Chains A and B, each alone.
Chain A
């Protein structure tokens, strides 16, 4: 029995190879995801461990590091006295205090160095040369000297001997001479793309601890040092870890990047696996249909039903095992390649240490399991072939679609309910899981519904193609086996639905942003910076200069405090404006109760729903703690109508001095009627020449800036489509080759009575294009539905507009046609080359 199976497989090589390819792709991506994650983790851990070489103990503040978010490390500082205490502990051979934090350095181009990964400033001390290597020059010896990392040189365009200007949130600008350049262990420019500046300890403290003689971390060396002894000496305010513990903790932070990448690839892999399921089901259904007489013969001569099932499953198992092993192998290569790519682009040339974790074997299990389980349905169907079928001509009458349609509708409904529950947060903490599971289930359901949809849709799409007779025949052929057409189109449907869904959300977000800018923002120019780790700000004097420009009608300004402030004991973001009435006017904010004019120093302004949330009414007083520790009882002077741009807590200009960064973040400029916006933009640009963190943009540029990241996201999602397209092509080729095989005699007849080769090719091509278009149209419809559902759910969160990504939709349709043409090449050639005589004589 098994021998018959394997002999049969040998004669169906091409189809099996194609099917295997789908399994290979799925397994490959799943394995690559696992390997990428493990490899990056291992590599990062290795590097960090290197950096901690020789460090035997680490002392940090016991305060939750989360409290040190933003710019204020005050709570987590270690006074210099503690360092002295540590140095006195038995077994401590050396101990040094480390000061490090974010500094802003102005590069060659007048803008900040290292826009995405900020510049890290630290104190260059004896320990610094343990891991870092000086490439040129020397360490800083005077307060106006600095040593910079290799990455800093690359990013800033500055080098040894140049002067660089730097400042921090608390320290004003100062000029430094670059006296040295250093590389990190392993001769690398950076750990993860960051730029670094090493100052003297005193200068680092001026920049980062507001001049306090204190440190963030104490690194201790000493082979016999005991962490307990240090802990006893420094007291409960400080946390003492061994070097290894600290190293592990530090590595965890870095590994997050790799984890995110890993999840993305895992997602791609799972989608590929999901799509492969349909392909495998289809292939085995086809194989079983072809072997119907053979199976019937086997049954007639005494094979049990179980043996027939086993014979089909054995074939699936062989494919599953071979393809999964190949996929795992390729996955290792892909994972290694991706890890190298991530290391060289995002991690400053981190040396990659390939790791194949035990979890990668899951990919193997997934590949084999999916193949065998997908083949189960066709296998059981195969066992149902009656022995008498061997004796008569194989006739496969179209099966009624009622059962599958009812099942499809039910499953789709279950999926839709889960999606709805997930989006409305009715599943407790499982919202996202519920939503994703719902989407998956809905896809299965819709796939079951596709056969019934294929009749009208294929007819409609085909009508467009029916201008030639061979096109008409192609259309008829596409509609011949709704189940097969549907399942073939499903692979494309799922991929297109996913990208269309995401594209719809992105275009809706863009439309919302545009609407906000156009309708709610009454300004012509916007001054703001790109959001980095630090909030970009500019000098308050700049505001006055802009206001003084002759063609400027009004300027709205915005100060913000995002960390460290509390309202009524709860961490709360605070805003302020030098001229709140004008600003509200520009942001389309309206006052519901009270007045914002002449806001008293203890005045507080808040929007309706935020006030209601805390049971506050006009005239109530609330205790507010500022980031600098100042406390005040503020009185609610006005309540604003809810409005996206002005929601939040506004304090009086007098309180700005208590903000972590008492500088404006954004300014919105109203240009006088009739004045040239471009000219004013140039003038503002001149004023901002000395402001490295911000720049001026008109409204259209602003919208582009806000949405450019989304475009990047969308582009990476299209990669998913490309992957699914490969699988879809395989599926379509598979189906077409089968169609050509099954209709050999028909093709022979057509050729005999005068159909040319070109016409035969066209007939197959039209069938192919129709199948692909069907998948794409369905996918676009489902994707729009998905996008709309999510948009509706997010409407209250501010996603108020729904917009369709028309350009992309047209693009997907064009892509579907291209896929159809591509997939048809081989089967059409096969149909055209058909030997007429053999075809008519075909058994």
Chain B
């Protein structure tokens, strides 16, 4: 049980929650072809909080979509836990996303017709099940959503909505949570709340989180930052702070001045 043994993820890399090996992904064909991922191999440790950073068009979103089974790969394999997801059909992928993966998007995370609680229960409801009530209670309390449960999304602030999305992502205790710019639409204070929760869920619950962001201060909450440019991993930073992230980005920009040329 992850609760009983809070791991020190950056030290004990017991096993990988998500593994990508030799990923290639290109869009279009001929002259117009854009290669989004070039031979990317990366592991995301279980119980760790990893940020993926990179300039626009670097392939960071594509990488996340491929890892999460939302997009297909041209070459290479992706494993979630022990399962290889490359080559799975839509039905199997859908079930995998439902059972093994949690999602937090930048916006439009919630169904407007459902209450906060129903939104949190959504993945379980789709599966025709109920989330573990004890676990749910802890997540809701940690996110301080107890008195917002009956509210509709339109009655919640942006930060509250994103916290509901976090609760939903964690409700089924997925193998991994993918967060795509989760704070992109939030003010500084709400951003802090969401990021502190993500950090906390890694530290306290042993949750694995992969977050795409372009914000160095958000990346600083992670255990590790993977930098992408031009479809390739160009740097791997451990124990980041906002400053080291900014420095890395700056240095990385200086070192690779032709980053945009491939486009």
Residues of A within 8 A of B (CB): 468-470, 473, 476-477, 479-480, 745-746, 749-757, 759, 836-837, 840
- Knowing A746-B108, A836-B70, the reply to whether A753 touches B113 (Cβ < 8 A) is no
Interface pick from B5-13, B80-88, B123-131: B123-131
> What are some 6 contacts across the A-B interface (CB < 8 A)?
A479-B113, A746-B108, A746-B112, A756-B95, A759-B126, A840-B105
**Contact between B111 and A750, CB atoms less than 8 A apart:** yes
Query: Chain A residues near B105 (CB, 8 Å)?
Result: 749, 752, 840
The one of A476, A757, A759, A840 in contact with B113, judged by C-beta atoms closer than 8 angstroms, is: A476
Task: Report how far A837 CA is from B70 CA in the complex, Å.
Answer: 6
Interface pick from B43-51, B96-104, B138-146, B215-223: B96-104
Most chain A beta carbons < 10 A, residue from B90, B91, B108: B108
Closest chain A CB from B261 CB (angstroms): 25
Sorted nearest first, the 5 A-B pairs with minimum C-beta distance are A754-B98, A476-B113, A745-B108, A469-B125, A754-B97
**Contact between B125 and A749, CB atoms less than 8 A apart:** no
Task: Report how far A753 CA is from B103 CA in the complex, Å.
Answer: 7
The one of A752, A837, A840 in contact with B97, judged by C-beta atoms closer than 8 angstroms, is: A752
Task: Report how far A757 CA is from B98 CA in the complex, Å.
Answer: 13
Task: Report how far A755 CA is from B111 CA in the complex, Å.
Answer: 13
**Contact between B95 and A749, CB atoms less than 8 A apart:** no
| Nearest A residue (CB) for B125 | A469
| Nearest A residue (CB) for B107 | A745
Query: Chain B residues near A479 (CB, 8 Å)?
Result: 113
**Contact between B114 and A476, CB atoms less than 8 A apart:** yes
Task: Report how far A547 CA is from B99 CA in the complex, Å.
Answer: 87
The one of B94, B103, B108, B111 in contact with A756, judged by C-beta atoms closer than 8 angstroms, is: B94
- Knowing A752-B70, A836-B70, the reply to whether A477 touches B113 (Cβ < 8 A) is yes
Query: Chain B residues near A476 (CB, 8 Å)?
Result: 113-114
Query: Chain A residues near B70 (CB, 8 Å)?
Result: 752, 836-837, 840
Task: Report how far A211 CA is from B97 CA in the complex, Å.
Answer: 99
**Contact between B108 and A754, CB atoms less than 8 A apart:** no
Chain B residues touching A, range: 20 to 34
Task: Report how far A469 CA is from B113 CA in the complex, Å.
Answer: 13
**Contact between B94 and A755, CB atoms less than 8 A apart:** yes
Interface residues of B in 113-171 (CB under 8 A from A): 113-114, 122-123, 125-128, 168
Query: Chain B residues near A480 (CB, 8 Å)?
Result: 112-113
Query: Chain A residues near B99 (CB, 8 Å)?
Result: 754
Task: Report how far A746 CA is from B114 CA in the complex, Å.
Answer: 12
The one of B71, B108, B127 in contact with A749, judged by C-beta atoms closer than 8 angstroms, is: B108
Query: Chain B residues near A745 (CB, 8 Å)?
Result: 108
Chain A interface, DSSP helix/strand/loop, else mixed: helix
Task: Report how far A729 CA is from B128 CA in the complex, Å.
Answer: 31
**Contact between A752 and B103, CB atoms less than 8 A apart:** yes
Task: Confirm or deny: B214 has a beta carbon within 8 angstroms of a beta carbon on chain A.
Answer: no
**Contact between B122 and A753, CB atoms less than 8 A apart:** yes
- Knowing A476-B113, A745-B108, the reply to whether A753 touches B97 (Cβ < 8 A) is yes
Query: Chain B residues near A759 (CB, 8 Å)?
Result: 126
Task: Report how far A649 CA is from B122 CA in the complex, Å.
Answer: 79
Task: Confirm or deny: B235 has a beta carbon within 8 angstroms of a beta carbon on chain A.
Answer: no
Closest chain A CB from B141 CB (angstroms): 22
Task: Report how far A751 CA is from B97 CA in the complex, Å.
Answer: 9
Query: Chain B residues near A754 (CB, 8 Å)?
Result: 94-95, 97-99, 123, 126-127
Given A473-B111, A746-B108, 10 more A-B residue pairs with CB atoms under 8 Å apart are: A469-B125, A479-B113, A749-B109, A752-B68, A752-B103, A754-B99, A755-B94, A756-B91, A757-B90, A840-B108
**Contact between A469 and B126, CB atoms less than 8 A apart:** yes
Task: Report how far A757 CA is from B128 CA in the complex, Å.
Answer: 15
Task: Confirm or deny: B75 has a beta carbon within 8 angstroms of a beta carbon on chain A.
Answer: no
Query: Chain A residues near B38 (CB, 8 Å)?
Result: none
Query: Chain A residues near B103 (CB, 8 Å)?
Result: 749, 752-753
Task: Report how far A459 CA is from B233 CA in the complex, Å.
Answer: 52
The proximity string for B residues 167-188 relative to A, scoring 1 for CB distances below 8 Å and 0 otherwise, is 0100000000000000000000
Task: Confirm or deny: B238 has a beta carbon within 8 angstroms of a beta carbon on chain A.
Answer: no
Most chain B beta carbons < 10 A, residue from A469, A476, A479, A752: A752
Closest chain B CB from A679 CB (angstroms): 66
**Contact between B126 and A837, CB atoms less than 8 A apart:** no
Query: Chain A residues near B126 (CB, 8 Å)?
Result: 469-470, 750, 753-755, 759
- Knowing A750-B111, A753-B122, the reply to whether A469 touches B128 (Cβ < 8 A) is yes
Query: Chain A residues near B95 (CB, 8 Å)?
Result: 754, 756
- Knowing A477-B113, A480-B113, A754-B98, the reply to whether A837 touches B127 (Cβ < 8 A) is no
Task: Report how far A759 CA is from B91 CA in the complex, Å.
Answer: 11
| Nearest B residue (CB) for A758 | B91
Task: Report how far A470 CA is from B126 CA in the complex, Å.
Answer: 7
Task: Report how far A327 CA is from B95 CA in the complex, Å.
Answer: 49
**Contact between B128 and A749, CB atoms less than 8 A apart:** no
Query: Chain A residues near B65 (CB, 8 Å)?
Result: 837
Task: Report how far A470 CA is from B128 CA in the complex, Å.
Answer: 10
| Nearest B residue (CB) for A745 | B108
Query: Chain A residues near B90 (CB, 8 Å)?
Result: 757
Task: Report how far A756 CA is from B94 CA in the complex, Å.
Answer: 6
Query: Chain B residues near A757 (CB, 8 Å)?
Result: 90-91, 94
Closest chain B CB from A239 CB (angstroms): 78
Task: Report how far A745 CA is from B103 CA in the complex, Å.
Answer: 14
Closest chain A CB from B63 CB (angstroms): 13
Task: Report how far A345 CA is from B102 CA in the complex, Å.
Answer: 70
Closest chain B CB from A454 CB (angstroms): 15
Query: Chain A residues near B68 (CB, 8 Å)?
Result: 752
Query: Chain B residues near A749 (CB, 8 Å)?
Result: 103, 105, 108-109, 111
Closest chain B CB from A767 CB (angstroms): 11
Closest chain B CB from A837 CB (angstroms): 6
- Knowing A754-B126, A759-B126, A837-B70, the reply to whether A473 touches B94 (Cβ < 8 A) is no
Task: Report how far A457 CA is from B112 CA in the complex, Å.
Answer: 21
Task: Report how far A797 CA is from B91 CA in the complex, Å.
Answer: 66
Closest chain A CB from B77 CB (angstroms): 19
Task: Report how far A480 CA is from B111 CA in the complex, Å.
Answer: 12
**Contact between A751 and B111, CB atoms less than 8 A apart:** no
Task: Report how far A520 CA is from B29 CA in the complex, Å.
Answer: 87
| Nearest B residue (CB) for A477 | B113
Closest chain B CB from A565 CB (angstroms): 74
Query: Chain B residues near A469 (CB, 8 Å)?
Result: 125-126, 128
Task: Report how far A836 CA is from B95 CA in the complex, Å.
Answer: 14
Query: Chain B residues near A840 (CB, 8 Å)?
Result: 70, 105, 108
Task: Report how far A752 CA is from B91 CA in the complex, Å.
Answer: 12
**Contact between A473 and B98, CB atoms less than 8 A apart:** no
**Contact between A753 and B111, CB atoms less than 8 A apart:** no
Closest chain A CB from B129 CB (angstroms): 10
Closest chain B CB from A762 CB (angstroms): 11
**Contact between B71 and A837, CB atoms less than 8 A apart:** yes
Task: Report how far A563 CA is from B192 CA in the complex, Å.
Answer: 98
**Contact between A751 and B113, CB atoms less than 8 A apart:** no
